[in-house]
Amino acid sequence: MSGPRSLRRDLALGLGAGVVALWLLAMAGAWAVLRDEVNEVYDAVLGQAADRILRLPGESMTAPAPEVTPRRGEDMSYILRRPDGAILMRSAGADATVFGETPRTGFRESADYRVFGRRAPGDNVLEVADPLAERREATREAMVSLLVPALALAPLIFFGVAWFVAARLRPVGLLAKQVARRDSADLRPISAPGLQLELIPIQDAVNRLMRRLADAMEVERTFSANAAHELRTPIAAALARTQRLIAQAPEGAPRQGARAIEAELKRMARLSEKLLDLARAEAAGVAAGSGQDLRPILSMVAEDFGAAAGLRVTLPPVPVVASIDPDAFAILARNLIENAILHGTPPIEVALEPDSTLRVTNGGRPLTADKLALLTRRFERLGSRRGGSGLGLAIVEALVRNAGANLEFRSPAPGRDGGLAVIVALRNAEPEVP
């Protein structure tokens, strides 16, 4: 199946071909007009030639005379005859068959010649003949002189049409690029400068759609945040009662059942916290920079996981100031480390570089490109049976996007046979002035 057709190419070829076709029609009309004009000029020359011949002395018009040889380059011939056809005078090379047996006045064509007859003194008839081939040659040379420059300009016509079409369609390309750059985090109205009147409804329709999407996503975020917030209190109360039940229940099945309930309630509590983090991360401007050193924040987050996590934290000797809110960076780092511990294997390396790049690397089996593309999808666990909400990397992606940073996944991790490396390239910022 062939791909979609190019509107720019179709317009350029169509307009170019139309211009050339109209130009050819104009040339055909010009050829017809030129042919008529050339015939009129040559007919006038025939009449003038007849007038000059008739001004010869009178005796030349009535007495037989020898043939007159025309000058070099002259193809015109003439003959002077009595009404009975007797020849009184003629030019050299004059063919009697061209003039016919009976002399006639006026214009006519005979044997590929144009013949003009005029009454002479003594009721004689002077006839002058000119070959039609000379007229055709003159018309052809005139048309060639017009066609050759025009044909040379034909490629410029197509180039000019293509340039004009591209220039007129440039706002459409700008509109398409603006739409392509937008995602769920940027649903602001688009505006393509220079958009033609016929294309403005498309821009308005896209803006209406984006406004509806923004409203729908805001409703979704608000619902998730409110639901998670409202669930925190009953979950905490149920967890407290369950822990009290565990303490009071005898050993055996009742206590084991209570511990299973406790584990599920803790999982629900973690999920509600992740939903709140996701709602905050997706809010516009939540990750705006503050100009603080990120090293102590990363150290504090890493200490929360304890020595059992087997983390290797590497910090630079100089302050690292990036354009991200400290709380947002703490949430980002915590989710990256949790994901590495939960779904990877030791050693787990956490490195903060002087250029504001955060790297979190874990071991494990390498991931394919298809699986790497799914990592930031909500509730995506890639078939893992380990715990987790499936929201950690989605929160990281939202924070990175709002901070204007870059998120990259590499598997296998650089320098390893497997594992996953998550690289967050933050934007540098000026440190705060006390």
pLDDT of residue 184: 65
Measured distance CA(310)–CA(306) in Å, rounded:
8
Burial bucket for residue 192 (CB in 10 Å: 0-12, 13-18, 19+): buried
Residue 363's alpha-carbon distances to 342, 352, 376, 412, in angstroms, are: 11, 18, 19, 9
pLDDT tens for each residue of the chain, 434 residues long: 456 777 777 777 788 788 878 878 888 888 888 888 888 888 888 888 888 888 866 544 444 434 444 433 357 888 988 888 888 888 887 887 888 888 889 999 888 899 999 998 888 999 999 888 888 888 888 888 878 887 777 788 778 888 888 887 788 888 888 887 776 666 778 887 777 787 788 888 888 888 888 777 777 767 766 776 677 778 788 888 888 888 887 888 888 888 888 888 877 777 777 777 777 777 655 555 666 889 999 999 988 887 656 788 899 999 988 888 888 888 899 999 988 888 888 888 999 999 889 999 998 888 888 888 888 887 776 656 565 667 888 888 888 888 888 999 998 888 888 889 999 998 877 665 55
Bridge-based pairing of strands 87-90 and 406-410 is unpaired
Classified as helix, coil or strand, 352 is strand
Measured distance CA(128)–CA(124) in Å, rounded:
13
Burial bucket for residue 167 (CB in 10 Å: 0-12, 13-18, 19+): exposed
Q: Give me the residue label for tokens 């790297």.
A: 359
pLDDT of residue 358: 93
Dihedral over Cα of 181, 182, 188, 193: its sign: positive
Cβ proximity of 343 and 389 under 8 Å: no
pLDDT of residue 416: 86
Six-digit token string for 268: 């629900």
Measured distance CA(113)–CA(122) in Å, rounded:
26
Measured distance CA(134)–CA(344) in Å, rounded:
95
Phi-psi region of 127 (alpha: psi -120 to 50; beta: other; left: phi over 0): beta
Burial bucket for residue 103 (CB in 10 Å: 0-12, 13-18, 19+): buried
Six-digit token string for 177: 């690029």
Cα three-residue angle 417-419-425, rounded to 5 degrees: 115
User: Measured in whole angstroms, how far is the alpha carbon of residue 7 from the centre of its chain?
Assistant: 10
Burial bucket for residue 340 (CB in 10 Å: 0-12, 13-18, 19+): buried
DSSP 292: -
Six-digit token string for 266: 């803790």
Cβ proximity of 114 and 154 under 8 Å: no
Measured distance CA(16)–CA(21) in Å, rounded:
9
| Helix (H) / strand (E) containing 35 | helix 7-54
pLDDT of residue 57: 61
Residue 75's alpha-carbon distances to 174, 182, 330, 334, in angstroms, are: 68, 80, 104, 104
Measured distance CA(63)–CA(61) in Å, rounded:
6
pLDDT of residue 394: 85
Q: Which residue from 98, 102, 99 is spatially nearest to 111, judged by alpha carbons? A: 98
Sheet holding 345-352, edge to edge: 311-314, 345-352, 357-363, 420-425, 406-410
Six-digit token string for 228: 């998670």
pLDDT of residue 262: 82
| Helix (H) / strand (E) containing 328 | helix 326-343
pLDDT of residue 292: 81
- Contacts of residue 283, Cβ cutoff 8 Å, sequence gap at least 6: 221, 402
Measured distance CA(308)–CA(418) in Å, rounded:
22
